[in-house]
Amino acid sequence: MKQRYSLSRMIFLLGVGCLLAACGGKTMVESDLGLKGVPDWVNKGTQVLKDDNGRLIHGVGMASPLGDISLQGATADDRARAEVARALSAMMDVVSNDFMASAGKGMNDEAVSRQIKSTTKVMLNGSKIIARWRDKKTNNIFSLAEMDMKQAKEIVKNMDEMNADLRAYFEKESDNVFDRVARTRK
């Protein structure tokens, strides 16, 4: 009996060790959810992409049935825009860090951070819902929001209250920063 207990215990500890080793490895993220019969953009999810249409941020949001179809659609839209905001915020963090590094000690970190946050909010007004899809089995609604970086740069160009050096830096470097962020998110 005692031998059986120690064998069981060894198997258990070996199993736990395997689980811990599996958890300690590099995380592999699939960009395809593998859902059947859905639009490609649902499976691909939120993306920062550069293609023939330009530099785009796509955000995908989903809402379960809420009893009110228009509220459900608006919720999916809001969640899609929140995904765009998350990706845009990551990009703007890089812009902020790069700008502060190039500007040197003459710039106030807090002031730049405030301007980046307010710029991000204004830029999000340029995002639009370009697709919506309802799963007939679950009645979940999916929305796809898009932010075109050409439009974002135009918004920044017209922001009078933005620091002129930061605006010039964004206009000059935003494509390079976007491309770096797009590569790291793949």
Distance, in Å, from the CA atom of 109 to the CA atom of 99, rounded to the nearest integer, reads 10
Mean pLDDT value of segment 43-54: 88
Res. 30: pLDDT tops 70: no
97-to-7, 17, 155 alpha-carbon distances in Å: 55, 40, 21
Mean pLDDT computed over every residue of the chain:
78
The beta strand positions in the chain, using DSSP E, are: 47-51, 54-63, 128-134, 141-148
pLDDT at position 7 over 50 = no
Q: Is the pLDDT of residue 1 over 60?
A: no
> What is the model's pLDDT at position 55?
92
What per-residue confidence (pLDDT) applies to 164?
82
State the average pLDDT over residues 57-81.
94
Which fold, 29-184? Thiol Ester Dehydrase; Chain A (3.10.129)
Highest mean pLDDT: which of 29-38, 80-89, 138-147?
138-147
Angle (nearest 5°) at CA 105 between 153 and 169: 15
Beta strands in 18-127 (DSSP E): 47-51, 54-63
More confidently predicted of 55 and 186: 55
| Biggest CA pair distance of the chain | 81
Q: Looking at the DSSP assignment, which residues form a beta bridge with residue 60?
A: 144
Average pLDDT for 99-104: 77
- CB under 8 Å to 54, separation ≥6 — which residues? 148, 149, 150
User: Is residue 155's pLDDT more than 80?
Assistant: yes
Q: How confident is the model at residue 2 (pLDDT cuts 50, 70, 90)?
A: very low
Per-residue pLDDT, 32: 53
Instruction: Give the residue-averaged pLDDT of 62-91.
Output: 92
DSSP state of 105: G
pLDDT at 77 over 90: yes
Q: Quickly state the pLDDT bin for 18 (edges 50, 70, 90).
A: very low
Give residue-wise pLDDT tens across range 113-147. 788 888 888 888 888 999 999 999 999 999 999 99
